[in-house]
């Protein structure tokens, strides 16, 4: 509980935030403040782009210029569809990137096809403000989903099981991809399996948040209902 409190985003917006640095150094996790700031800063950079890396891989596997024609041919062959029917199916599917906290999370996942960026109003405003900044060039992010990122981020993130599960494939998926002619060499086989979904870090965090919000809402509804019933009883 203490660890969760210390790491809560309510108090720590960045991994290299001073309170967390002091806490970890004081408990001997790092030998010095300088080492903690450097290491946590590196992890912060990698974590911030992790969702983009996952979205990029998913989009490339299905909807890149290299692979989308392969899926069209696969649908036609496997299910006896016409090319028009197969195209209609693929064109109706979009990748939905993970929740985004920084404007660059949106700009780096822009794609010309098969991508939907859903944003909360406050994030939409942040994206707009970034666009309005002097020197910002929107054309630099045209089809940014195809952009290559520093491999050191992936190397660092591979130290964390949740990223590996989100980034790699499973043997079953690899079989389907190869059947469609998609090159998945080197993409790994330690991806998230269906039976593991309920214990996956992001799922646990999201469900906990939804559950806590629901319970608070339910308690408030019960409280109001009791007050109304009490008032009606007096009438």
**Do 65 and 111 fall into the same domain?**
yes
Residues 105 and 182 in one domain: yes
202 part of a folded domain? yes
Domain identity same for 188 and 199: no
The beta-strand segments (E) located in the chain are none
Residue 171 sits in the same domain as residue 213:
no
Residue 39 located in a structural domain: no
Instruction: Identify whether 38 is part of a domain.
Output: no
Q: Each residue's pLDDT tens digit in the chain (235 positions)? A: 667 666 666 667 788 888 888 888 998 999 999 999 999 999 999 998 999 999 999 999 999 999 999 999 999 999 999 999 999 999 999 999 876 778 999 999 999 999 998 878 888 999 999 999 999 999 999 999 999 999 999 999 999 999 999 999 999 999 999 999 999 999 999 999 988 888 887 778 778 888 989 999 999 999 999 999 888 876 5
Q: Which of 140, 143, 141, 146 is nearest to 56 (CA)?
A: 146
Other Cβ atoms within 10 Å of 149 Cβ, number: 13
pLDDT of residue 46: 93
| Distance, CA of 47 to CA of 162 (rounded, Å) | 11
Contact status, residue 188 vs residue 169, Cβ threshold 8 Å: yes
pLDDT at 17: 85
Evaluate whether residue 77 is within a structural domain: yes
In a domain, residue 172? The reply is: yes
Domain that holds residue 82: 49-192
Specify whether 61 is located in the same domain as 77. Answer: yes
Is 64 within a domain?
yes
Residue 27: inside a domain = no
Please check whether residues 102 and 172 belong to one and the same domain.
Answer: yes
Co-location of 58 and 127 in the same domain: yes
Asked if residue 119 and residue 167 are part of one domain, the reply reads yes
Number of folded domains that form the chain: 2
Q: Which residue has the tokens 């917006």?
A: 13
Within this chain, do residues 56 and 165 fall inside the same structural domain, yes or no?
A: yes
């Amino acid at each position: 509980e203490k660890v969760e409190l210390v790491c809560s985003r309510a108090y720590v917006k960045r991994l290299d935030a001073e309170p967390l640095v002091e806490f970890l150094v004081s408990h001997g996790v790092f030998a010095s403040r300088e080492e903690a700031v450097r290491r946590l800063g590196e992890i912060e950079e990698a974590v911030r782009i992790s969702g983009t890396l996952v979205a990029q891989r998913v989009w490339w596997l299905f909807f890149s210029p290299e692979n989308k024609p392969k899926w069209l041919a696969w649908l036609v062959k496997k299910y006896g569809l016409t090319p028009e029917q197969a195209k209609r199916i693929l064109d109706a599917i979009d990748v939905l990137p993970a929740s985004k906290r920084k404007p660059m999370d949106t700009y780096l996942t822009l794609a010309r096809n098969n991508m939907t960026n859903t944003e909360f109003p406050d994030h939409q405003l942040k994206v707009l403000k970034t666009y309005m900044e002097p020197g910002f060039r929107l054309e630099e992010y045209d089809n940014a989903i195809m952009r290559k990122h520093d491999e050191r981020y992936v190397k660092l993130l591979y130290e964390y099981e949740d990223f590996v599960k989100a980034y790699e494939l499973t043997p079953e998926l690899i079989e389907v991809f190869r059947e469609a002619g998609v090159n998945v060499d080197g993409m790994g086989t330690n991806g998230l399996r269906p039976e593991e979904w309920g214990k996956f870090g992001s799922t646990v965090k999201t469900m906990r948040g939804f559950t806590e919000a629901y319970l608070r809402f339910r308690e408030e509804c019960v409280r109001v209902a009791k007050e109304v019933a009490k008032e009606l009883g007096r009438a």
